Amino acid sequence: MHDTGEPQESHNKIPKGWLLFFFGMIIFMIGYIVSYTPAISGWSFYKGFEKEMAAAAKTRPSVDVKHFSGDKEAIKEGKEIFANTCAPCHNADATGGIGPNLTAATLKFGATEKDIYESIANGRPNGMPPFLQQIGSEKISKVIAFLEPLRKK
Ligand code: HEC
């Protein structure tokens, strides 16, 4: 080896694969930045999140009320379920405590069978727990049948 004193690196060609990787990375980075910058592409984490939530809501069983209205046996059972599960918050006669009065003619989240079912099955934001997993749609429907005649018309 003769050392001429000149720098030797410039005599070596950069390997093609390395160049490809290098420019590939730059292109990838630009693409990435463009597609994930909200101000450029309008991308938003929340949009994706909302889409996922909407898809999940569709897989949730829809309102599944069974009609026990006026059925004495069902109302009796509903009363027991209410006493065990709901009375701590709503009082045994449903006139309210920690939770609101359920005998009022109008309820905040609606007083149709479907509205009340949703209140009980899926819960409500300010402290009403969801009960679908715990007691199932049949018992919820019986509780609704129990509540119905208590409500002021
Ligand atoms: C841990 C206490 C608690 C228990 C147990 C509970 N609730 Fe509630 N419930 C609440 C609270 C608090 C609210 C008000 C929620 C809100 O305003 O967002 C509520 C709201 C409701 C509503 C909606 C009322 C309206 O004004 O629209 C219904 C219907 C209801 N509960 C029925 C029931 C039934 C039936 C049970 C038993 C299966 C039950 N709750 C058990 C605390 C409870």
Residue nearest to atom 39 of ligand 1 (CA): 86
Quote the ligand 1 centre to 146 CA distance (angstroms).
15
Q: How remote is the C-alpha of 130 from its chain's centroid?
A: 12
Residue of 81, 107, 128 with the most ligand 1 atoms within 8 Å of its CB, for mutation:
128
pLDDT digits (tens), the chain, 153 positions: 567 777 776 677 889 999 999 999 999 999 999 999 988 888 898 999 999 988 887 766 667 888 898 889 999 999 999 999 999 999 999 999 999 999 998 999 999 999 999 999 999 999 999 999 999 999 999 999 999 999 876
Closest CA to 115 of 57, 72, 63: 63
- Residue 60's pLDDT is 64
Ligand 1 pocket at CB < 6 A: 85-86, 88-90, 98-100, 102, 107-109, 116, 119-120, 124-129, 131, 143
Residue of 79, 82, 85, 90 with the most ligand 1 atoms within 8 Å of its CB, for mutation:
90
| Separation between Cα atoms, residue 11 and residue 132, nearest integer Å | 75
Quote the ligand 1 centre to 70 CA distance (angstroms).
22
- Residue 108's pLDDT is 94
Q: Are 138 and 127 in contact (CB under 8 A)?
A: no
Q: Are 137 and 65 in contact (CB under 8 A)?
A: yes
- Residue 98's pLDDT is 94
Q: Would you list the domain boundaries of the chain?
A: 14-41, 72-150
Q: How many CA atoms lie within 13 A of 30 on its CB side?
A: 5
Q: Are 145 and 69 in contact (CB under 8 A)?
A: yes
- Residue 62's pLDDT is 66
Which of the four CATH numbers 3.30.1600.10, 3.40.50.300, 1.10.760.10, 3.40.50.10210 does domain 72-150 have? 1.10.760.10
